[in-house]
Amino acid sequence: MTEDMAEIARRCIACLDLTDLTDDCDEAAIDALCARAVTPHGTVAAICIWPKFVAYARKQLPADVKIATVVNFPTGAEPAEDVIEMTERAVLDGADEIDMVIPWQELMEGRAQNVLTRVERVKRAAGTAKVKAILETGMLEDHDLIRKASRLALEGGADFIKTSTGKAPVSATLGAAEIMLNVIRDFDRTRGFKPAGGIKTAQDAANYMQLAEQILGEGWAIPANFRLGASSVLDALIAAVEGREAAASEGY
């Protein structure tokens, strides 16, 4: 690894939302995730976990590692009142960030207003917690729909727009990322971007960080604006910082 890649990898660690949204996640897995969040090269930005583990994780983590949790996840089709109740409860339990799936199916059916309304309601329910709107770009596919979903989420008050749940057949892609980043550039450069799912290698992570800075400017990709959603890339990033090869890994 070059010195440049080592530095990019170090920056990526600081922007990582270290994720466990597996179906069999338990408190032991949360303990392990919290331990991994503090690395020899700095802490990750956040852990991203199921709502039922937020209160437990809050007791394990240092204050500088945020807790993100998910609502309306992964389908994007849960009843609105259930989503609002879950958001409010997660914040009370200690969540700093709410990653919400937009009702992307309704957007595909021509009911764009429902996307805007849902984001607005979750944003209000989240209070001071940041909201990341998950577009599920692999299901939208169409570039115009991805662009429209990005704009609606930002208009609704989302602090970040995020590509994917990691549960669909297609997760983050550089093509979808480019569309979303251009919408942020034209709408409000202070809003954030999070690719998620399918980020396996240090080069994968670096590609998204470099694309973000090509579009939004050098130095834009800091934790306040840029996150990487992944479970398996941390070891690869640490290896890149240390100038060695990482073993292949699997996961979100």
Cis (ω within 30 of 0) for the bond into 62? Answer: no
> What counts of helices (H) and strands (E) characterise the chain?
11, 10
Residues 6+ apart with CB under 8 A from 39: 13, 234, 238
d(CA 248, CA 237): 12
DSSP 3-state assignment of 158? coil
Active site members: 99, 162, 194
DSSP state string for 30-86: HHHHHHHTEETTEE-SEEEE-GGGHHHHHTTS-TTSEEEEEESTTTS-S-HHHHHHH
CB 205, CB 230: distance < 8 Å? yes
Structure tokens at 77: 């089709």
